[in-house]
Amino acid sequence: MEWLNTHLLTALTFLPLAWAVAGMAIPGRFSKHWTLAGSLLLFAVSLKLYYGFDPHGAEFQFAESVEWIPGLGVNYLIGMDGISLWLILLTTFLMPIVVLSSYNGVEDREKEYYTLLMALQTGMIGAFVSLDSFLFYVFWEAMLIPMYFLIGIWGGKDRIYATMKFFIFTMVGSLLMLVAIFFLAYQHKMQFGSFSTALVELYKVRLDGSGFLSTQSLLFLAFALAFAIKVPLFPLHTWLPDAHVQAPTAGSVILAGVLLKMGGYGFIRFAFPLFPQAVVLYQPTFLVLGSVAIVYGAWVAMVQPDMKKLVAYSSVSHMGYVIIGLFSLNAIGSTGAVYQMLNHGISTPALFLMVGMLYERRHTKEIKEYGGITKVMPLFAVAFMIATLSSVALPGTNGFIGEFLILLGAWKANPGLTVLAATGVIFGAVYMLWMIQRVMFGPLTNEANKKLKDLSLREIVVLAPLMVAIFWMGVAPNFFFRKMETSITRLVDRTAKAGAVAVALKGER
């Protein structure tokens, strides 16, 4: 047990993988229970992380450092701060729900399915804890493989096109990031004599950030491309709807719940502190892209015939908020952005789970197939309504806190754009309520819908924690802010100050 205290993060990262490998020996029928137990155990362990983390302590806590590849100056350096704490908790919180939700959703090759889910978890947690950019890249890529198989094998009709597109899209971005990491390590050698890809070391590297195409800006763009694809930011988002529509329920829940946060996390952990001047230089561009993403995502979501695609485009819109929050470069905006990432990680999975439940009953995701199912599934309707309210950012739910802070932060940065972004509030209501009206309300016309059963106990247990989280995060956000605020402000202020100073210098030069 003593080892567990000192190496908590390593245990947290590799426990799921070990658990999955151990699960190999179990016959297929029991693997789902085994995986559920594993994910619950992991959640318990991650709670230990919450209590151990002291927001006012060192910048990175539970840090561990082991030499991995001395030749390249890469070492196994992991640690966590306020931001990664909550993202890890989100991952371990969602996983049991995902496993429980795919209990009777998956029939063939169950063992591989659950092994891949646990491997995916290792990849995700690893990415959130790694403080060495090379290690981050390794987990970032390793995460793709399980998701690739999850979508590819258990996906919908043309799953192969979707999964290939998903893989190649992310791969292109991340490879350029890797080149940028190497260049940074090389600069570190030039300036400090030794190779190192550790994040804290790379902070010290001074790069010429004068123009739009200066080295620092190019490096920033390489990082930003990788994270923008992952967010997904407006022009690079077309992989998301395909991936979501074809992915199995569990796949799209994890994809929406955690994988999209990787982009945002990447920005605030890597891109901001490493390239402050470039961030300040490119702030207006990303604010514009974020606002456009919000409106564009909402408008296109409105006209989607397929429920999953609608929710997918709503993710594009929500993550647009995260981008403007991050790029407002002030404490309120960034904290709102990180909080919005958590909200999105609660409300969108809830929506996907419910669409999945409908799919399990009627094997179709087309909106026109449904209508007036509140009569036969009232409890489902209540749950769906709560998830919609959270996604529409009604005060009292978690969505409002995130969006309110983001818009407030963005208003300080650029009032004009914030008006455009704020219209997202309206369009968000339009597409969600229109979908609810066509699916939930209205007369019960379709014969098949008459026989639909309401939520089973298992399904209630799946949705309950999410519903509670929606209200808890809406009413008592301070519980969450307390732990993450110091980390965010530390990162964002450093970026804003360094960036502003440089820009000012350039200005008067």
Partner 1 sequence: MEALKIVDPSLLGLTSEQYSSLGPYLWVVGGSLLAMIFAVVPFIPARISVVCIAIASLIGAVVSAAHQITADRTDLFAGMMVSDGYSAFFNILFLATAALSILASVRYLEKQKLEYPEYYVLMLFSTFGMMLMASTLDLISIFIALEIMSLSAYVLVGFRRNDRRSNEAAMKYFILGAAASAILLYGTALLYGSTGSFLITDILARVTTKPELMTPAYHLGGWLVIVGFLFKVAAVPFHMWMPDVYEGAPTPITGFMTTGIKAASFAAFVRVFISLGYGKDIEAAIGGRLHDVLWVIALITMFFGNVIALTQTNLKRMLAYSSIANTGYLLVGMIAAPHSEAGYAPILMYLATYTVMNLGAFSILSVLSGKGDTNLNLHDLSGLARRHPWLSFAFAVFLFSMAGIPPTAGFASKYYLFYSAIQAGEIWLVVLAVLCSVIGVYYYLRVIVYMYMRENEGLEKFAVPALAAFSIAMMVAMTLQIGILPSKMIAVTKKVVAKL
Partner 2 sequence: MLKWIPLLPLIGFTINGFWYALIQCRPGAKKAGATIPGLIATLAIFGAFLISVKTFLELKGMPAEGRFVEQHLFNWIHVGDLDLKMALRVDSLSTLFTLVITGVGTLIHLYSIGYMSHDATPGKFFAYLNLFCFAMLMLVMGSSLPILFLGWEGVGLCSYLLIGYWYEDLEKAKAGKKAFIANRVGDLGFLLGMFMIYTHFGTLEFTKITELLARGDFIAAISPAAITATCLLLFVGCTGKSAQIPLYVWLPDAMAGPTPVSALIHAATMVTSGIYLVSRLNGLFSLSHTAMMTMAVIGGLTAFFAATIAIAQNDIKKVLAYSTVSQLGYMFLACGVGAYTAGVFHVITHAFFKALMFLGAGSVIHGMHEEQDILKMGGLRLKMPVTFVTFLVGWVAICGLPPFSGFFSKDEILWNAFASPHGSKLLWVVGAVTAAMTAFYMTRMFYLTFMGKPRFDESKMGGAHDSHAAHGHDDHAGHGHADHGHAPQGVHESPATMTIPLVVLAILSIVGGFIGIPHMSWLEEWLEPVIPAHDPATFTAGHTTEYLLMGVSTLIAILSIAYAWKTYTNLKEASARKARHAKLHETLEHKWYVDEAYESAVIQPIYEMSVKLWKNVDVAVIDRVVLGFGRVSEWTGQAARTAQTGSIQVYAVMILIGLALSLGYLVRGF
Q: Name which position in 478, 507, 508, 509 contacts partner 2 (CB under 8 A).
A: 478
Selection from partner 1, partner 2, none that 472 binds (CB < 5 to 8 A by kind) is none
Q: Contact at 8 Å (CB) between 376 and 452? A: yes
Selection from partner 1, partner 2, none that 138 binds (CB < 5 to 8 A by kind) is partner 1
Tokens of 175: 């490879």
Q: What does the alpha-carbon distance between residue 163 and residue 267 come to, in Å, rounded to a whole number?
A: 24
Q: Contact at 8 Å (CB) between 370 and 310? A: no
Task: Give 394: exposed, middle or buried? Use CB within 10 Å, 0-12, 13-18, 19+.
Answer: middle
The answer to whether 169 contacts partner 2 (rule: CB under 8 A) is yes
Q: Beta partners for 112?
A: none
**Contacts of partner 1 in 156-185 (CB under 8 A):** 159-160, 163-164, 167-168, 171-172, 175-176, 178-179, 182-183, 185
How many residues bind partner 1 (CB under 8 A)? The answer is 34
Selection from partner 1, partner 2, none that 419 binds (CB < 5 to 8 A by kind) is partner 2
Site map (CB under 8 A) of partner 1, residues 22-61, x = contact: ----------------------------------------
The answer to whether 173 contacts partner 2 (rule: CB under 8 A) is no
Q: What does the alpha-carbon distance between residue 76 and residue 480 come to, in Å, rounded to a whole number?
A: 29
Q: What does the alpha-carbon distance between residue 11 and residue 315 come to, in Å, rounded to a whole number?
A: 32
Q: Name which position in 44, 58, 69, 501 contacts partner 1 (CB under 8 A).
A: 69
Matching residue, tokens 């929406």: 256
Terminal Cα-to-Cα distance of the chain (whole angstroms):
59
For residues 93 and 220, which CB has a smaller minimum distance to partner 1 in the complex? 220
Q: Contact at 8 Å (CB) between 143 and 124? A: yes
**469 C-beta neighbours (distance < 10 Å), count:** 20
Q: What does the alpha-carbon distance between residue 20 and residue 35 come to, in Å, rounded to a whole number?
A: 7
Q: Beta partners for 397?
A: 395
The answer to whether 457 contacts partner 2 (rule: CB under 8 A) is no
For residues 55 and 106, which CB has a smaller minimum distance to partner 2 in the complex? 55
The answer to whether 302 contacts partner 2 (rule: CB under 8 A) is yes
Contact set with partner 2 (CB under 8 A): 165, 169, 235, 237-238, 241, 296, 299-300, 302-304, 330-332, 335-336, 372, 374-375, 378-379, 382, 389, 394-396, 400-401, 404-405, 407-408, 411-412, 415, 418-419, 422-423, 425-426, 429-430, 433-434, 437, 440-444, 454, 475-478, 481, 485, 489
